[in-house]
Amino acid sequence: MDGIAAIQARVASIQGALTTLAPPPVHLTPRVATTPGGPGGGTTPAGQPSTADVFAAALAAEVTGTAPTAPVGPALPTVPGFTAEQIGNARAIVDTGKAMGLSLRDQALGVMTAMGESSLRVLDHGDKAGPDSRGLFQQRDNGAWGTLAERMDPEASSRSFFTALTKVGARDSMTPTAVAHAVQRNADPNHYARYWDDAVRVVTALTGASAAQVAGR
């Protein structure tokens, strides 16, 4: 509350200063109806805010964070069967893989794995097999995947996943589910197979590449 009171005091001070500096109104014939000019005094044409009011309103909007901000990043594509939240998380995976210089197939492997682990949602809970698992990739609290904050962050957790992925030799000749299993150590090595086609579809929508390019065919 002290911060708000300080802002209000500053706004009132600026209003008063601007009104003091403004030249007195000159009334011509016919006279224009006037209304009070706000806390700083003075008159303005009826229905029009004073210069001080306009300036004060702009300042208040800036200091309280209500000024409009520019949108961040390109618009998300619409992919049937997936929400904007899921596609946004898929984009974080794809962008991280691209920034690390990884192939489209590797990026799709990341999306596929997150589909199989969390349905592309940043989960704040684990399961019976891994009660300490968190995030898009359900990474365990065993020291290998970073802090809780990193495991809950789409970009940081993707980076951890891809770092481990790059250590899988000959992964380009392995089936997608075998590669994911090599990183995640899932109880069922075929668990991720069902998500591959959807992962290719999502990465295709996000990158504009063909399905064949994403799948590495």
Query: In the structure encoding, which two tokens stand for residue 110, read together?
Result: 């990341």
DSSP state of 42: -
Which ranges in 22-153 belong to alpha helices (H)? 51-63, 84-99, 104-118, 148-151
Q: Which residues contact 212 (CB under 8 A, 6 or more apart)?
A: none
User: Are 197 and 213 spatial neighbours (Cβ–Cβ below 8 Å)?
Assistant: no
161: enclosing H helix or E strand: helix 154-165
Tell me the pLDDT tens digit for each residue of 9-48: 665 665 555 455 445 554 444 444 444 444 344 444 455 5
- Report the distance separating Cα 162 and Cα 88, nearest Å: 18
Tell me the pLDDT tens digit for each residue of 177-217: 999 999 999 889 999 999 999 999 999 999 999 999 999 97
Tell me the pLDDT tens digit for each residue of 91-132: 999 999 999 999 999 999 999 999 999 999 999 999 888 999
Give the SS3 label for residue 134. Answer: strand
Query: What are the structural domain ranges in the chain?
Result: 2-63, 84-215
Q: How many CB atoms lie within 10 A of CB 167?
A: 9
